[in-house]
Amino acid sequence: MTSTTEISSPQWRHWRLEREADGLAWLTIDRADSAVNALSAEVMTELAQVLDSLQSAPPTGLIIRSGKAAGFIAGADVEEFVGLDTPQQAHALVERGWQLFNRLASVPYPTLALIQGHCLGGGLELALACRYRLAVDVPGTSLALPEVMLGIFPGWGGMRRLPALIGPAAALDMMLTGRPADARKAAALGLVDARVPPRLSDTTARRHVLSGKPAHRARGIAAWMNHAPFKSLVAKRAQKQVEAKDPQGHYPAAPAIITLWSQYDGNALAAPQVIDRILTSDTARNLLRVFRLQERLKSCGKAREGISPVQHVHVVGAGTMGGDIAAWCALKGMTVTLQDQDAARIAPAIGRATALYARKLKDPYAARAAADRLVPDPAGDGVTRADLVIEAITEQVEAKQALYRAVESRMKPDAILATNTSSLSLATLRTGLTQPHRLIGIHFFNPVAQMPLVEVVQAGPDEQGIQARACAFVGQLGKLPLPVSDAPGFLVNAVLAPYMLAAMRQVDDGVSPETIDRAMTDFGMPMGPLELADTVGLDIALAAGQQLTQQAKPPRCLADRISRGDLGRKSGQGFYAWHDGKARKQQPATPPAGMAEKLIAPLIERTQQQVDKGVVADADLADAGVIFGTGFAPFTGGPLHYRNNKLHNTSTT
């Protein structure tokens, strides 16, 4: 960069403007008192003031970049959405961003967004208002319009500009799913003009913004689809897809996005009734609540001062859980040694890991590097070098204790010993250890690559901060750590057991599995309780039910299937016949009224009991754990929140 002169203003707390001698201007967003950039009202007001300054002395070009290592812009300030109580407030919030970004899009000088790291929601809408966009090709770069996941819509120009840029099919896919694009995909879509390596980002940005090239726009068929009669066809197809995924209409933001694009050219201000209906809805409030719960779990996974990141993980047990835990750790950059009785037992885990890396990383060099970090270790030599040893062997107390005795003396003095047990008492497993406080529960859920929650189990006081270190490790993995106390089933399995058993009692009463599962998917669950039981394994469901519900006699339908060897998906037959990993179902009858409420009642009751017992710190964490650990309908805000809302609504009617 050539010599610059900084323009300072005492009221600009969040922006820095610098001009070069040739007139090129660099505008850096660096939100004060925050680790990330978010577009709060104050940040937006200051941006308007910056544009005022540039209007009086236009630059030859303007490059907008971030001063945060965390990324470009994480979106709007979610806290300002939480406070929307009236249609007027919702309308004003949409208008603020719409008008400001329209102004940015219409400035007479070329503009460029230099994107490194996350560029989400309102951040991407700001970038779309620029003439050009460059994506810095680093692992954290991610562009998305995830508003639909919060129950809202991208109202600051994204619904108009994104379809014009990449075509409506690709744009609607991004807006209706919230799915992100990395630098490679963003360039392929035409979402950015190019992806650049970090070392060339500033030079390329300077050259590109002054190039005089026309702004990119969708071309050919993609462009035609933005106009009649094709536009209505695209909208109808998208509407059918949304209805197929959400037939009960629990999530109204997705159809609203289609309506706003197809009928109002993406301008929500032209449809104030849609603003009122969506932004002030219970669904939006509840999904914003879920977002905040997710952020709270993420905060549990942030490394505290004095906590060093885990670099080497040793996993004992190369079965489905152990092998997949090892694969995920290597995917996230850790060196992993994987131990089992012989190389033949480890080989299937290596095969699954190779497929995971190809699917997740795309780049063959990155996939190869991840595979190289996963080292078969039948002899267990990695124990002596590991920062964390994870045991994922059979659920037998004696076998686990024997393993701990064998590895404890070989571990580094400050290494953590962890178990992936889903049901055994940590206090019991610690018996016989020289340093019992070293053993922590790190309970992953199956499938490891898909399930976001990990329970971090502590028995007694957190001596020497072991639970905090384990939570930080889970955060390294990009998972959500939930601190829980040692108790049967911890949180997630404890609440699932009575729920699945209640469903099985309905089967005993003559209701078909399809009808029961239909009642719960209509309620908003991602999977019905009987399909879930088949997926978990009916033998495991039986053991959990006996341990967690104190019921001496299991449901007849469960006992009969187990006696026949029908254990669910793994045996090919359970409540359903399974083929290629999918359940074959008959057409369900219409569930009777009140069935869903009857089935979730024991789940809600057990969730409250776990809070009362101190298994989780409070009701919010319990709701977070059940949502992210079981898929409990997010639009409800969680089981306890759902119950409290029902009680409140009942008392006010």
Q: Is 250 a catalytic residue?
A: no
Nearest to 387 by CA among 326, 457, 311, 277: 311
Tokens encoding 512: 């078909």
Q: CA 328, CA 371: separation in Å to the nearest integer?
A: 11
Nearest to 144 by CA among 164, 161, 122, 165: 122
Of 147, 408, 455, 514, the catalytic one is 455
Q: Is 147 a catalytic residue?
A: no
Q: Yes or no: say if 488 and 308 are a contact pair by the CB < 8 Å rule.
A: no
Alpha-carbon distances of 292 from 194, 198, 199, 621, rounded to whole Å: 34, 32, 35, 11
Residue with tokens 């680093």: 138
Q: Is 493 a catalytic residue?
A: yes
Q: Is 641 a catalytic residue?
A: no
What interhelical angle do 619-630 and 595-612 show, nearest 10?
A: 130
Residue 581 gets the label, from left (phi > 0), alpha (psi -120 to 50) or beta, of: left
Nearest to 630 by CA among 533, 546, 551: 533
Question: H or E stretch including 279?
Answer: helix 272-279
Of 14, 91, 312, 443, the catalytic one is 443
Of 312, 493, 531, 641, the catalytic one is 493
Phi and psi angles of residue 120, each rounded to the nearest 5 degrees, phi first: -125, 150
Q: CA 21, CA 530: separation in Å to the nearest integer?
A: 69
Of 142, 286, 420, 422, the catalytic one is 422
What interhelical angle do 595-612 and 513-523 show, nearest 10?
A: 70
Residue 230, judged by CB atoms within 10 A of its CB (0-12, 13-18, 19+), counts as middle
Question: Which residues are designated catalytic?
Answer: 422, 443, 455, 493
